[in-house]
Amino acid sequence: MEEERLTSVFRRVAWRLRATARKITGTPDDADDALQDAFSRLWRHRGRIATDEQAERLLATSVRNAGIDIVRRRARYADTEPPDIPDDDSGTHAAELLNDVTALIDTALDERQRAILYERDSYGWEIDEIARHHGMTEANVRMALSRSRRRVRELYLKRKNHEI
C-alpha cells in the first residue's frame, strides 16, 4: 500500500484506536504509546497490505496487543522493590548477591540463553524483538526465558542450601 494512503487510513481511525488503547491501558500516555507501536507495525508491513480494511484490521489488532503488552510490563514491574537484603554500610551483601547470580548466568547458561535473558531482563527488549533477533518464534523465546530463569534459580538455591 502506498505511504500516503496508509497514513490517511491511520488518521481516519486514530481516534477509535486511541479510545481502545485507553480502555486497555488506563492512561492517555500509555494509549499514545500503544498507538505509536501499532503504527510502527503497520508501517513495517505496508508492502503486504492491499486494502484499507486490511490496514484497519492490522491496526486494531496491533493496538490491542501493544496495549496488553504495556499493561503486562507495568504489572511485571509494579511490585519490584529491591530485595530486602541485609547490608552493611558498604552494600557488600547486595553486591555479593548480584555477583553470584551474574556468575551463575554466565556459567550455567549457553550463549543463546544468556543473550535472551540479558536482552529481556537487563535491556528491556520485547519478546517479538528478541524473536526476530534470534530467528525464533515468540513461544520459543518465552520457553527459553522460563527455562533459563528456572535453571539459575535452582542452582542458586542449591548453592545457598549447601552453604547453610
Which of 21-25, 72-76, 110-114, 126-130 has the least mean pLDDT? 72-76
List Cβ neighbours of 140 (8 Å cut-off, separation of 6 or more). 131
In this prediction, residue 90 carries a pLDDT of 52
Which pLDDT tens digit goes with each residue over 58-116? 899 989 988 888 888 777 665 555 445 555 555 556 677 778 888 888 898 998 998 99
Reported confidence tier of residue 18, pLDDT bands at 50, 70, 90:
very high
Residue 31 has pLDDT above 80, yes or no: yes
Grid coordinates in use for 28? 492517555
Q: Could you say which DSSP state residue 83 is in?
A: P
Reported confidence tier of residue 13, pLDDT bands at 50, 70, 90:
very high
In this prediction, residue 11 carries a pLDDT of 92
Phi/psi for 99 (5° steps) reads -65, -40
Task: Tell me the average pLDDT of the chain.
Answer: 83
Region 129-151 average pLDDT: 90
129-155 residues labelled b (16+ CB within 10 A) or e (exposed): ebbeeeebeeeebbebbeebbebbeeb
Region 125-140 average pLDDT: 89
Region 145-153 average pLDDT: 89
Task: Tell me which residue of 106, 107, 131 sits closest to 118, measured CA to CA.
Answer: 106
> Cα(first)–Cα(last) distance of the chain, in Å?
65
In this prediction, residue 41 carries a pLDDT of 83
Region 22-35 average pLDDT: 89
Domains of the chain and any CATH numbers:
3-78 (no CATH), 92-163 (1.10.10.10)
pTM over 0.75: no
